Chain A
Amino acid sequence: MSVLAEVSGNIATVGYGLAAIGPAIGVGIVVGKTIEGVARQPELQGKLQVLMWIGIAFTEALAFIGIATYFIFTK
């Protein structure tokens, strides 16, 4: 049986790349929507900041855990 394609190295790096797509889109949406909200109603800036912060915290946590998988997925 002939080998048509071969991957060398650790495939987990591809996994991290895939895992980073979600948080990247998430943080982009959170910040972008906050900008839209403040532009429409500047007096809500403080309230929207808190919501933006908690949104960023949850999305970046996924990316953070994704990087930390380097410690268990590599030999």
Chain B
Amino acid sequence: MTDPISHDPATTPEVASEERRVPSSQPILLRAVTVGGIAAVVVTVVMSVIGWCVDGGTGLASGALGSVSAFVFLGVTAASILVSNFFVQSDFYVVIFFGLVLGSWILKFVLFIVAALLLKDQPWINPTMFFISVIVGVLASLLVDVFVVAKSRVPYVGDLSKDRAV
């Protein structure tokens, strides 16, 4: 007579460690961060060139800083969900998840307000160019997010193993 408990994959340590599972959203978030990084480089270069044409070195710095800050601050959301999903096996997953996601959310806004106060009166910043770069960066980041989600295929039920791509 076989013992059902000893053959249960969930109770076998080596099988449980091999089948480390993450939520099925993980590949999509990873792709969003990756594609967002590539888009950030492209938009930063474009806005820097436009800034250089408009206001020389000051415009270049403003264009680069504006677009980089937009992509970084909007990318933090996906990155924080991505990181917190690694703790999905933990008993404190819900606490860790919302602590990281909403904690990073409030932190980035505080940082951006402080950055705005510090940068506003700097002589090497063109405020109008900075603002336009932020708008362009935000719109480009949202476009990337929409593109990634529209192209994603999430299984209706269940989670994926760690190495499976969607």
Residues of A within 8 A of B159 (CB): 45-46
Cβ distance B100 to chain A, nearest Cβ, rounded Å: 13
Cβ distance B86 to chain A, nearest Cβ, rounded Å: 13
> Which listed residue (A49, A58, A63, A68) contacts B116, Cβ 8 A?
A68
Chain A binding surface, main DSSP class: helix
Is A56 a contact partner of B25 (Cβ separation < 8 A)? no
Cβ distance A53 to chain B, nearest Cβ, rounded Å: 6
Query: Which residue of chain A has the shortest Cβ distance to B139 in the bound complex?
Result: A61
Residues of B within 8 A of A58 (CB): 142
Cβ distance A1 to chain B, nearest Cβ, rounded Å: 36
B15 contacts the other chain (CB 8 A): no
How many CB-defined contacts (below 8 Å) exist between A and B? 96
Q: Give Cα distance in the complex from A58 to B78, angstroms.
A: 12
| Binary flags per residue of B80-105, CB closer than 8 Å to A gives 1, else 0 | 01000100000000000010001001
Is A60 a contact partner of B105 (Cβ separation < 8 A)? yes
Is B23 a contact partner of A61 (Cβ separation < 8 A)? no
* Contacts A60-B77, A68-B131, A69-B131 given; does A46 touch B138 at CB 8 Å: no
Is A71 a contact partner of B112 (Cβ separation < 8 A)? no
* Contacts A46-B154, A47-B25, A65-B134 given; does A57 touch B116 at CB 8 Å: no
B60 contacts the other chain (CB 8 A): no
Cβ distance A56 to chain B, nearest Cβ, rounded Å: 5
A67 contacts the other chain (CB 8 A): yes
